[in-house]
Structure formats: structure tokens, C-alpha cells
């Protein structure tokens, strides 16, 4: 039995599927923990495979590789040094579990399986894993660890069982994706578990981007009296030692006081978007990104995010004016590119438009120009961006926002062309908020220049696709503050028609927005992935049918 321990929190950025790389990261963290004097190093959920592995986890060869990596890592502990508590898939009696394993003395000393498998939003774990039994504590150097895996903390059952069976410290390895305002929710749930059990709590969260999800880190330690003893920073990797001692009453207390200041809301959202793009590009091996720069606010913010994520030398911008593009928009696009230090190329598309007119005129039989010709412009631009992407290998970055994707205000095979969308889950009003915020802040861990990166005129002018003379978005859409509130009521809150009307909108406006939302489902099925920041992003969070006879409007 010991009366003092040093427990290191390994808040790291694994890559899904890179078992060899994740094993190397775990070994490096173990060496770092040893240098800090750690007795135990705690990792995040399914660290050895990366999280979430989705259906990759069902491949027997992948399961073999993960278990072999854990056996190798266990062997590292044979000659002393820190014990490891690490997340991995594990098979037992024909079932596959989401496990946390304790590696000590050259072997797997203990295993605990995730009890509460989430099956909502982006989570689909009940089809991947078997649920483990309610766990008992794990013995470690004469004390008893209450080991939990992520969702096990979100309800009282597991913590209560561990407390009743003698656990002394609750230890949770997490893969908890970022959402705006989720940090407070996590903390409140952790506090609830501490209040219910009277036990201190260690929470280790993953950091990094994985496809549409980002993980913000923000690991922490709560004392048995709910005091926040340790708060690791968000939005970066961190290996942090925490010192523990047994008091005169036999209870464990954290002696460390290492609380970092949490990020402000807009800072967190911006960091999430930057991180999501950076890890998507880097983990998939792209040399950089290319995007169309129109002089509008969406493409301007997308360009800023790209430069902040990757650096100006890895971002290329194409200015593609049509006969309807104002000189002001060209000037604004060039001013934004200059502020960011990115290379731009101007590719006028008038001749391509004329060629399509010549090709299609015999088919259209002198019909008047309409949205068809507008879409052709967008598709010419999309083809141009994709041609650059194919030739140079840069990933095409789309620039549309959540408001546009909600109501179908986007062109398939046009402005929707691309491999990733930084603003996919960002409403138009938030685009403005983030643009104004970035113009007055220089966030940490970005490659872009300081403040004033978006010309004021881009922020203040009326938004327009400029696909016909004197066009503005509000010709066909409600004002964005109205549109976004109705959309959020429909998407995030699933509110009834009458309840939305009672928020102060006309029935016709609400019905029109709802119809646009549901009719555009087929477009969203063909949209590129993008960073999730809201409670309910398009994709796995919201799985609506394309053929849908129920609109819920009057």
C-alpha cells in the first residue's frame, strides 16, 4: 500500500487506424510520464486505434493488430516505469468490447469494459460493441481505481457501482467530441458524479480532429469536495502530472493546482474549425487547399481559416469573375488575399459561359434565362477549382455555410464541389460573428497574420452570389437573423410549427423555410464533410429521409 501517487494525464492526438503511430505516441507519453515521476499514465478512449474507428473496428485483422500493439506496450512495463491505463478494443468470448486496460509488470493486469454505449447523434456504438457489466474497481499499488469509459460518466449507474464496491478515485478515459457549450455540460456531469459518490475524479479527454469531429481536450481533475484542482488547456496536446496523497481519513486528495483559463465561446468555435481543417488535410496527406475567393464573407472567412490552419504557403485562391461580378467584389477578394499573404490566380469565366450558352441554346428553344444559367456559372467555377485540385493535388475547400446548406441555397457540382467544408456547421449569423471576432483577435496556435484579416467592406456589404445583375441573398431568403433562428428551431430543437410561429414569425415565413429545409435533403446527402460545432450537424447527427411526405407545416 502507498500513501502517495503521481498520475499523468495524457491528452493526445491519435489518428484513427494508425495503430503503429498511436503505439509510438503512447510510448513517447510513457517516457514523458516517467520524466515527470508518474506512477500511472492515463490515456483517452480507444487510444490505440484512434477514436471513433467506426466500422473499421469490425475487421478481425484490425482487432488483431490492436491487441498485438497492447501486448507490445504491456511488455514495455516489465522492467519498471509507469503503469499505463489505455483505451483499446478487446475481444472476450466472441464479443468485442470498448475497453480500458491496465498495463503493469509486463502484462495486462486488468480490463474494464464500457457499460453505457451511446447510440445517439454521431455515436453508433451499440452496433459495434457489446456492453460490459457494471465494473468493480481496479487494484493499483494498494489503492482502488474506479475505471470508467467516457459515456459511463454521463449517468450515475457506473459511478455508484464503483463507489459501493470500494473505488477511491474515479478515472475516466474519454473521446468526447466538441460542441459549443459542451464544456459546461461535461463539468456539470462530472460534479454530479463527485457529489453522488464523494470521490475525486480524473477526466482525460482526446484532442484532435477526425473527419467531421474535433476533440478539444480540456482534461481536468476534481477533488472530492468538487474543487477544480487541475484544468488542462484546450486545443492542444498536453501531458500533465498530478500529485496525490492519502489523508488521515484514508481519502485520496489531489495536491496539484494547475488550472488553465478556459477558452471563450467564439475562440473555442474558431479553434474547432481550424483544428478540424488542419487535421483533415494533414492526416490525409494533402499538400494544401485551393478555394474560390469571391469577395464575399463566406469565402473570406474560409480563406482565413485555411491560412490559420495550414499557413499561407499551403493555400491557393482562385478569383473567377463573371460578367455579373462587381469590381468591388474583385477588389475585396484581392484585399483579403493580400492581408493573408496568399497567392491568387484570376480565371475569368465569361468565355466559358458563352461556350455553354452556345451549346445549350438549341436545347432551350429560346427560353428566358433563369436559375439554370446561374447554376452553370457556379458549376464552371466548381470545375475550375476541381481542375486545379486534380493538377496540383490540393484539396478543394468549399465555402458554403449551414444556413445555405439548410435551405438548398447552394449548387450541386458547383460551389458544393470539394473535399471538405470548414463552415458546414456554421450559420450565416455566426459567420459574421466569427469574422468580426477574428478581425480583433489573433488566436493561439494559428499560422495566419494578426488582426484585420478580412476587409471591413466584406463584412458590411449585403451578401450576394452575384449570379445575375443586382442580386442579393435577401431577394429569395428571409433576413439571416430570422432565417437562422427558424432553422435552429427546426434542426437543433425540433420545435413544432406553431411553437416557432409564437417566437414572432409569420406562418408563411416559417412554412417557407421548413419546406426549403426538407426539400434540400438530397443536396446535403452529396455535400462534403465538415467540422461539427453545433448540437446537431448535418450527416450522422440528423438522418432524415430524402423522400419525405411529412413537412410538419400548415
User: Does 114 qualify as catalytic in the annotation?
Assistant: yes
Contact of 59 with 106, CB cutoff 8 Å: no
Largest CA distance in the chain: 92
Q: Is pLDDT at 465 greater than 70 in this prediction?
A: no
Separation of alpha carbons 415 and 405, rounded Å: 11
CATH number assigned to the domain with residue range 266-472, chosen from the 4 options 3.40.50.620, 1.20.59.20, 3.40.50.1220, 3.65.10.10 = 3.40.50.620
Q: Tell me the β-bridge partners of 139.
A: 144
**pLDDT tens figures, 274-316:** 999 999 999 999 999 999 999 999 999 999 999 999 999 999 9
Instruction: Give the domain ranges of the chain.
Output: 4-262, 266-472
- Stated pTM of the model: 0.94
Q: Tell me the β-bridge partners of 241.
A: 8
Residue with the larger pLDDT of the pair 248 and 407 = 407
What local confidence, expressed as pLDDT, does residue 477 receive? 84
What local confidence, expressed as pLDDT, does residue 313 receive? 97
Active-site residue (options: 6, 67, 125, 150):
150
Q: How confident is the model at residue 120 (pLDDT cuts 50, 70, 90)?
A: confident
CATH code assigned to 4-262: 3.60.110.10
Q: Coil, strand, or helix at residue 54?
A: helix
Burial string for 38-74 (b: 16+ CB within 10 Å, else e) reads bbbbbbbbbbbbbbbbeeebeeeebbebbbebbeebb
Q: How many CB atoms lie within 10 A of CB 110?
A: 19
Degrees to nearest 5, angle at CA 549 with 544 and 550: 70
Q: Tell me the β-bridge partners of 396.
A: 290
Arithmetic mean of pLDDT over the chain? 93
Separation of alpha carbons 357 and 363, rounded Å: 10
User: Does 374 qualify as catalytic in the annotation?
Assistant: no
**pLDDT tens figures, 57-110:** 999 999 999 999 999 999 999 988 999 999 999 999 999 999 999 999 999 999
DSSP 220: E
**pLDDT tens figures, 159-189:** 999 999 999 999 999 999 999 989 999 999 9
**pLDDT tens figures, 319-354:** 999 998 889 999 999 999 999 999 999 999 999 999
> How is residue 167 written as a grid cell?
473505488
Q: Is pLDDT at 466 greater than 60 in this prediction?
A: no
Active-site residue (options: 6, 114, 317, 417):
114
Q: Do 4-262 and 266-472 fold alike per CATH?
A: no
**pLDDT tens figures, 469-527:** 666 766 678 899 999 999 999 999 999 999 999 999 999 999 999 999 999 999 999 99
- Average pLDDT score over residue span 355-363: 92
Active-site residue (options: 6, 45, 151, 466):
45
Amino acid at each position: 500500500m502507498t500513501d502517495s501517487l503521481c498520475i499523468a494525464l495524457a491528452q493526445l492526438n491519435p489518428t484513427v487506424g494508425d495503430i503503429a503511430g498511436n503505439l509510438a505516441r503512447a510510448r513517447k507519453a510513457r517516457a514523458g510520464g516517467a520524466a515527470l515521476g508518474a506512477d500511472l499514465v492515463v490515456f483517452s478512449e480507444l487510444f490505440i486505434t484512434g477514436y471513433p474507428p467506426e466500422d473499421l473496428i469490425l475487421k478481425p485483422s484490425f482487432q488483431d493488430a490492436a491487441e498485438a500493439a497492447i501486448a507490445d506496450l504491456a511488455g514495455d512495463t516489465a522492467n519498471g516505469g509507469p503503469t499505463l491505463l489505455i483505451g483499446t478494443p478487446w475481444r472476450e468470448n466472441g464479443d468485442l468490447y470498448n475497453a480500458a486496460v491496465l498495463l503493469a509488470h509486463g502484462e495486462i493486469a486488468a480490463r474494464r469494459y464500457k457499460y453505457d454505449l451511446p447510440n445517439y447523434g454521431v455515436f453508433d456504438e451499440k452496433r459495434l460493441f457489446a456492453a460490459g457489466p457494471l465494473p468493480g474497481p481496479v487494484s493499483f499499488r494498494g489503492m482502488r481505481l474506479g475505471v470508467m469509459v467516457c459515456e459511463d460518466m454521463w449517468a450515475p449507474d457506473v459511478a455508484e457501482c464503483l463507489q459501493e464496491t470500494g473505488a477511491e478515485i474515479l478515472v475516466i478515459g474519454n473521446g468526447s467530441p466538441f460542441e459549443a457549450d459542451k464544456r459546461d455540460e461535461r463539468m456539470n456531469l462530472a460534479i454530479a458524479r463527485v457529489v453522488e459518490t464523494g470521490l475525486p475524479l480524473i477526466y482525460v479527454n482526446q484532442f484532435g480532429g477526425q473527419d467531421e469531429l474535433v476533440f478539444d481536450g480540456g482534461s481536468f481533475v476534481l477533488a472530492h469536495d468538487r474543487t477544480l484542482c487541475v484544468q488542462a488547456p484546450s486545443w492542444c496536446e498536453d501531458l500533465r502530472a498530478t500529485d496525490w496523497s492519502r489523508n488521515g481519513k484514508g481519502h485520496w486528495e489531489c495536491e496539484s493546482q494547475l488550472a488553465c483559463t478556459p477558452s471563450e465561446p467564439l475562440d473555442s468555435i474558431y479553434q474547432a474549425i481550424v483544428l478540424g481543417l488542419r487535421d483533415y488535410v494533414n492526416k490525409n496527406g494533402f499538400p494544401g487547399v485551393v478555394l474560390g475567393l469571391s469577395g464575399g464573407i463566406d469565402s473570406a472567412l474560409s480563406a482565413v481559416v485555411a491560412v490559420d490552419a495550414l499557413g499561407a504557403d499551403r493555400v491557393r485562391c482562385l478569383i473567377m469573375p463573371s460578367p455579373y461580378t462587381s469590381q468591388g467584389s474583385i477588389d475585396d477578394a484581392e484585399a483579403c488575399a493580400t492581408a493573408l499573404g496568399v497567392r491568387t490566380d484570376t480565371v475569368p469565366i465569361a468565355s466559358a459561359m458563352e461556350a455553354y450558352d452556345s451549346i445549350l441554346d438549341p436545347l432551350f428553344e429560346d427560353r428566358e434565362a433563369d436559375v439554370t444559367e446561374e447554376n452553370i456559372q457556379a458549376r464552371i467555377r466548381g470545375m475550375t477549382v476541381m481542375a486545379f485540385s486534380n493538377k496540383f493535388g490540393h484539396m478543394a475547400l468549399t465555402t458554403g455555410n449551414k444556413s445555405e446548406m439548410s435551405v438548398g441555397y447552394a449548387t450541386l457540382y458547383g460551389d458544393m464541389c470539394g473535399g471538405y467544408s470548414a463552415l458546414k456547421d456554421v450559420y450565416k449569423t455566426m459567420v459574421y460573428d466569427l469574422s468580426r471576432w477574428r478581425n480583433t483577435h489573433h488566436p493561439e496556435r494559428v499560422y495566419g497574420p494578426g488582426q484585420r484579416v478580412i476587409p471591413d467592406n466584406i463584412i458590411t456589404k449585403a451578401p450576394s452570389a452575384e449570379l445575375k445583375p443586382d442580386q442579393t441573398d435577401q431577394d429569395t431568403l428571409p433576413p439571416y437573423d430570422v432565417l437562422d433562428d427558424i432553422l435552429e428551431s427546426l434542426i437543433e430543437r425540433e420545435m413544432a410549427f406553431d411553437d416557432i410561429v409564437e417566437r414572432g414569425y409569420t406562418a408563411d415565413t416559417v412554412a417557407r423555410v421548413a419546406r426549403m429545409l426538407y426539400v434540400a435533403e438530397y443536396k446535403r446527402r452529396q455535400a462534403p464533410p465538415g467540422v461539427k460545432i453545433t448540437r446537431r450537424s448535418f450527416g450522422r447527427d440528423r438522418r432524415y429521409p430524402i423522400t419525405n411526405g411529412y413537412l410538419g407545416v400548415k
